[in-house]
């Protein structure tokens, strides 16, 4: 009676199969992003044309109304919102073209004030907004992205308080991150930062 055993190390074959699946997955994801980028680019151009008309006619309307009129203030808000929308279109186009965002020195507290003013007009009176801005420091960032971040965080916070109301608190302050804090975050180095906090009393 004899036994013959044949063994073969299939580790490399299995690894190659896994790597192939990963590459296929990345390729599909890349193709999806490319398709989304193409769609976003087309929509953005059309939306930009609409915004041009909105901004143009708003400018004419501002010139026509009396200075100091409540309507003038409303038109200013429409115009500022139109400018924000135009910046957002630029951001979408940058994504579609896969270009770098424009980073420049900005004061986050000024952008936050503008965002909260816009949010206030959309929230029920049962939600109180409290702001504690203790920093006027400049940071290198894209103002449109910062505006969008604050709007999204506050919208989520407001949604949590939709039924019973509550308090939405936004804080901005300087912060120093020590090496022992950033050691677990490879993309975050120690140094001076600006801290943005959005807090709500909802569920």
Task: Taking residues 64-78, report their average pLDDT.
Answer: 87
What is the β-pairing status of strands 104-107 and 138-141?
antiparallel
Phi, psi of 135 (to 5 degrees): -140, 140
pLDDT in tens, 164-184: 899 999 999 999 999 988 888
pLDDT in tens, 89-129: 777 776 666 555 678 999 999 999 988 988 888 888 999 99
Question: Under 8 Å CB-to-CB from 106, ≥6 apart: which residues?
Answer: 138, 139, 140, 141, 143, 146
């Amino acid at each position: 009676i004899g036994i013959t055993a044949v063994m073969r190390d299939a580790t490399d074959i299995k690894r190659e199969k896994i790597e192939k699946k990963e590459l296929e997955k990345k390729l599909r994801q890349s193709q999806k992003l490319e398709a989304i980028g193409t769609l976003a680019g087309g929509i953005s151009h059309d939306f930009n044309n609409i915004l041009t008309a909105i901004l143009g006619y708003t400018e004419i309307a501002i010139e026509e109304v009396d200075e100091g009129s409540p309507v003038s203030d409303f038109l200013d808000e429409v115009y500022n919102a139109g400018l924000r929308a135009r910046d957002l279109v630029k951001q979408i186009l940058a994504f579609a073209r896969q270009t770098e965002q424009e980073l420049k020195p900005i004061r986050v507290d000024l952008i936050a004030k503008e965002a909260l003013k816009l949010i206030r007009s959309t929230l029920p009176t049962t939600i109180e907004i409290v702001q504690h801005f203790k920093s006027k420091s400049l940071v290198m960032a894209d103002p449109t992205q910062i505006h969008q971040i604050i709007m999204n965080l506050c919208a989520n916070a407001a949604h949590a308080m939709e039924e019973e109301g509550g308090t939405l608190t936004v804080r901005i302050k300087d912060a120093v991150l020590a090496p022992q804090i950033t050691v677990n975050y490879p993309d975050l180095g120690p140094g001076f930062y600006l801290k943005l906090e959005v807090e709500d009393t909802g569920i």
